[in-house]
Amino acid sequence: MPSFRNERRVRHRSDQMFDLVADVERYPEFVPLCTGLRVRSRRPDAQGRETLIADMSVGYKMIREKFTSRVVLDKPRRRVLVEYIDGPFSHLENIWTFRDEPAPERSLVTFFIDYEFRSRTLGALMGTMFDAAFRKFADAFEQRADELYRT
């Protein structure tokens, strides 16, 4: 099963980076391959978490796919968990964690994803593209944070 992990120290606080990743509706503006995102539902719980059901559309050239995920935004623990519900995958799990660093205005952002396409043909077509996009995710989120949080 393909997987990708990236740890990056950034020039922003962990709460800022969490908020950036949690703002899923803005992904089409800056996330590689994301052509659309619609939140179907939001449900807060008593522990300060919020669970979303969201549809993400991805595409590259002539290939277009949509998948549905459950997104758990756990702000108290500075963690985002994405679990696959429906679409072209047989499995997809994505975890973001955010931790403040000792230096002021710095944090460690960890991104992990593992996935497997339901179809070998689609996996062959999109697999290399997804791998390349995941390698660009960290850059895209850090650049977006620089735009939003730099004074």
- The strand pair at 3-10 and 107-117 is best described as antiparallel
Cα–Cα nearest to 137, from 33, 50, 63: 33
Write b or e for each residue in 33-53: b if 16 or more Cβ atoms lie within 10 A of its Cβ, otherwise e. Answer: bbeebeeeeeeeeeeebebbe
Mean pLDDT, the chain, integer: 90
87 and 75 in contact (C-beta within 8 Å)?
Answer: no
CATH code where residue 46 lies:
3.30.530.20
**DSSP character for 25?**
G
pLDDT tens track for 72-122: 999 999 999 999 999 988 899 999 999 999 988 899 999 999 988 888 877
Domain count, the chain: 1
Position 119 scores a pLDDT of: 80
Residue 26 clears pLDDT 90, i.e. is over it: yes
Full domain range(s) for residue 136: 3-149
Secondary structure (3-state) at 20: helix
Position 127 scores a pLDDT of: 65
